[in-house]
Structure formats: structure tokens, C-alpha cells
Amino acid sequence: MATDLPLKRFQIKALSHQDAQQTLKHDVLEGMLCAPRSLPPKYFYDEAGSRLFDAICKTRHYYLTRTESALLKRHADEIIAAARPRTCVELGAGTSVKTEILLSGLAAGSRPFTYVPIDVCGEMLIESAARLLYHYPRLRIEALAGEYLSALHALPRLDGPVLFVFIGSSIGNFTEAEAMELLAGVSGIMGPEDAFLLGLDRVKDRKILEQAYDDDEGITAQFNLNVLQVLNTRLGGNFRLENFSHRAVYQEAREQIEMYLVARQAQQVTLADLGETLDIAAGETILTEISRKYTRASIRHLLEGSALSEDMHFAPGDEHFSLVLARKR
């Protein structure tokens, strides 16, 4: 795919693989050697995981993508007029399909426009870039393959105003403290004319939420189980995926979906690259993801704790999702 790219308009910088591998080892040791066990959701997104997530977004009950895309289509012109960006930096770019709703308006103009997608999956960045560069001849892409905070420190010099984008309700995968740390990291590099577009899922009926994270086709289950395959591949593990099942539950008190892998039977798993053997009991759980849901009040609290302020707020009539354009305070 890379050979098809117009190289004068594309470059990708992979942040240190050694650092990424050390971070993985640290995260797995920290999460899997304690009780209850857990894994960070960022490890879902190898190439297979990214494709599975793209398939999840097309399932019947996964309302998030459809709702957010509709909001973007309805309000893209207002967002662009308010932000007036010359550069777009996106955290967790993935396939860039929803962001293309904005890019189509920005990159179709008479002046060059720069897109800086950040994602842990370099293969997906290259594939998305090939599609975007073909459609938008004035677009330049400077991709960063790595984790968000590391990538923010590695950003190239940006032509402002800059529109930072973090959509898909991905901010919900972080604890409140982690979310504020990440958003504060963005606000810390924003200039007075820059803007930050956030997509946030909202608190709603338990049935709607749980169906979105446990589809009838079993795609979310495959996506969840794939994180074990990532550990097998990258850490010499011998997890048998058929020995685990997928569970998603909405915790009303914490206003978040929690996704687990549940051991179907007692088992012993080796992670050769860590020199560790795990004794996992039947019924034991591994927390693989949280997805926090927001109210208007908790959105304001999140922004205020990150040195940001709300400029524009877009939501459908049922208030099931929010797109927020924020500014540095």
C-alpha cells in the first residue's frame, strides 16, 4: 500500500518500537499479575483489531458511529467556520472515515491543508492515507504511529489555527484522571486560536448501552478476544481464545460500560517474553475496557479540569451523544 502513496504529500513517523514493547510489558505485568486482572484497551488495536472495530461500527445496535456521523454531517460547516483550521490533528484516527466528513470541506479548498493522524496501528494509518490522498490532491498527511501523549510531544511544527480532534467517544475509555491528563496535554500545546473537537457518548438506558457492546453477530466478542491474540503474538503467550467468553455490563453508579473476558475453565497461561505463568481460575475476569458515559454536567467538569472551556455544543434531539468544540481557557 505504501508504494501507492504520493510520497511528496505523505510521511509517517513511528515512535520507538522498543519503547512501545517496554510499555506493553509494563502494562501487562501491572494488570495481569494482580487481582482483579485488567488490560489497557489500547492493545485491542492491532491491524486485526482495527478491522474488527470498523465492523462493530456497522452493527445494528452500535448507535455511536451513526449518531456521531450524522452530527458531523449536520454541523461540519459550523465547526469549520468557527475553527478556521489550516491543520487537523486527530487522536485515535483509525480509518479516518468520520473525520473525512470534516476533511472533505477543509481539503477541497484552494489552499493546502495538513492532516496529522495519530494512531497505535501504523498499517491502518498508511491504508487510510492512501485513500485520503487520492481523493484530496491539496491534502498533506504527516502521520504519527504511537500512543497519544508520546505523539503529542512528537508533533511536527503546525501551521495554525489547528483543530485537534478526538471523536468516537474514545475519551470514555479513560478514567477521569487519565482523561483529564490527556486533555490537559492537548490544551497545554494549543494556541489561543486553536480549537478541540470532542465526541462524547451520553448516559442513557441500560439496554441500549449493553446491546451496543454485545452485538448479536458476536463481532464485539471477537474484538475483545483479539487482545489475547495480541499478547500471544507480542509476548510469546499461549492463551487459548476459546477458553474465554465476552461480557459487557453497564455500571449505573459509575456511569460506564465495563467489558470483560471471563475464563470458561481453570487454566494456566505462559507469557514467555515476560517469564511469567498465570494461574487463572474458572469464572475469573479480565477487565479489558471501560467506556464512560457523560451528562452535560460531567462534560463541563471534564473540560474545566483540563483547562478547556466549551465553545459550541451539538447534540441530537434525544441527547444520546455530544459533539463539543472547546477552546483553551
Average pLDDT over residues 153-178: 95
For residues 50 and 119, membership in a common domain is answered with no
pLDDT level of residue 17 (50, 70, 90 thresholds): low
What integer pLDDT is reported at residue 171 of this predicted model? 97
What integer pLDDT is reported at residue 4 of this predicted model? 64
Average pLDDT over residues 15-35: 89
For residues 198 and 132, membership in a common domain is answered with yes
pLDDT level of residue 20 (50, 70, 90 thresholds): confident
What are the backbone angles phi and psi of residue 47, rounded to the nearest 5°? -60, -45
Number of domains in the chain: 2
For residues 72 and 191, membership in a common domain is answered with yes
Of 319, 316, 326, which is closest to residue 72 (Cα–Cα)?
316
What integer pLDDT is reported at residue 18 of this predicted model? 63
Percent of the chain with pLDDT over 70: 97
For residues 140 and 45, membership in a common domain is answered with no
What integer pLDDT is reported at residue 28 of this predicted model? 98
CA–CA dist 240, 280 (Å, integer): 12
Average pLDDT over residues 30-58: 94
More confidently predicted of 193 and 17: 193
Cell of 74: 449536520
What integer pLDDT is reported at residue 1 of this predicted model? 42
Residues 256-300 have pLDDT tens digits of 999 999 999 999 999 999 999 999 999 999 999 999 999 999 999
- Does residue 196 lie within any of the structural domains? yes
Q: What average pLDDT does the structure give for the chain? A: 94
Average pLDDT over residues 38-65: 94
CA–CA dist 146, 6 (Å, integer): 22
- Does residue 52 lie within any of the structural domains? yes
**Does 36 score more than 80 pLDDT?**
yes
Question: Domain holding 298: CATH number?
Answer: 3.40.50.150
- Does residue 111 lie within any of the structural domains? yes
Domain that holds residue 142: 2-15+62-204+294-328
For residues 9 and 152, membership in a common domain is answered with yes
What integer pLDDT is reported at residue 121 of this predicted model? 85
What integer pLDDT is reported at residue 238 of this predicted model? 98
For residues 198 and 324, membership in a common domain is answered with yes
**Does 248 score more than 50 pLDDT?**
yes
- Neighbour order of strands in the sheet with 37-38: 37-38, 285-292, 256-263, 244-251
C-beta of residue 187 within 8 angstroms of C-beta of residue 196: yes
For residues 152 and 78, membership in a common domain is answered with yes
- Does residue 193 lie within any of the structural domains? yes
For residues 88 and 227, membership in a common domain is answered with no
- Does residue 165 lie within any of the structural domains? yes
For residues 156 and 305, membership in a common domain is answered with yes
Percent of the chain with pLDDT over 90: 84
For residues 257 and 299, membership in a common domain is answered with no
- Does residue 181 lie within any of the structural domains? yes
Average pLDDT over residues 115-121: 92
For residues 45 and 66, membership in a common domain is answered with no
Average pLDDT over residues 89-108: 88
For residues 156 and 259, membership in a common domain is answered with no
Residues 186-229 have pLDDT tens digits of 999 999 999 999 999 999 999 999 999 999 999 999 999 999 99
310 forms beta bridges with 326
Average pLDDT over residues 108-113: 77
